[in-house]
């Protein structure tokens, strides 16, 4: 059975890497490993467990020169006002047990993922915590 290393990075807090079986969600693996993550519905209909994919193993990360050039170009913004040009599409890192109803297509391509239903597809780094939750806002389904 395949397992992936998922690194959970908190803006203000510890960074923890957990092993996630291909058939379990990132939230399930975190709980098994004793890592506390917020959750509510566990069905993908709220945004309590949202994370943002920062990097995917095998995907090139932006080079320092490219970042400097990007700073001189107009910034792309998400509906919440965040820059999205350096976040991989969540689909490169996770698949879902069911459709993530609480996220729209733009949020998914901006790297947001619902960890309660997200199944890993690759080793990756995911930002978690209240800042990410605030970027997405409330779900229309809640």
pLDDT tens digit sequence for 118-137: 999 999 999 999 999 999 98
- Res 141: pLDDT: 56
Q: Is residue 36 part of a domain?
A: yes
Q: Is residue 142 part of a domain?
A: no
Q: Is residue 27 part of a domain?
A: yes
Q: Is residue 141 part of a domain?
A: no
pLDDT tens for 21-32 read 999 999 999 999
Q: What is the rounded CA–CA span in Å between residue 58 and residue 124? A: 9
50 strand-pairing partners: 114
Q: Is residue 122 part of a domain?
A: yes
Q: Is residue 105 part of a domain?
A: yes
Supply the range of the domain harboring residue 46: 3-136
Count of domains in the chain? 1
Match 């006002």 to its residue by tokens.
81
Banded model confidence at residue 85, pLDDT cuts 50, 70, 90: low
pLDDT tens for 35-79 read 999 999 999 999 999 999 999 997 765 554 444 444 444 443 434
Q: Is residue 61 part of a domain?
A: yes
pLDDT tens for 2-12 read 999 999 999 88
What CATH number is attached to the domain comprising 21?
3.10.20.30
Q: Is residue 84 part of a domain?
A: yes
């Amino acid at each position: 059975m395949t397992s992936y290393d998922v690194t959970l990075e908190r803006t203000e807090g510890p960074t923890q890497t957990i092993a996630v079986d291909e058939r379990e969600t990132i939230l399930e693996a975190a709980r098994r490993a004793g890592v506390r993550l917020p959750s509510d519905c566990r069905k993908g209909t709220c945004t309590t467990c949202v994370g943002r994919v920062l990097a995917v193993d095998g995907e090139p990360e932006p080079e320092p020169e490219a970042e400097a050039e990007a700073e001189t170009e107009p910034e792309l913004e998400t509906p919440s006002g965040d820059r999205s040009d350096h976040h991989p599409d969540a689909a490169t890192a996770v698949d879902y047990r069911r459709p993530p109803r609480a996220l729209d297509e733009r949020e998914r391509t901006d790297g947001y993922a619902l960890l309660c239903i997200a199944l890993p597809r690759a080793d990756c780094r995911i930002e978690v915590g209240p800042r990410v939750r605030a970027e997405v806002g409330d779900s229309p389904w809640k």
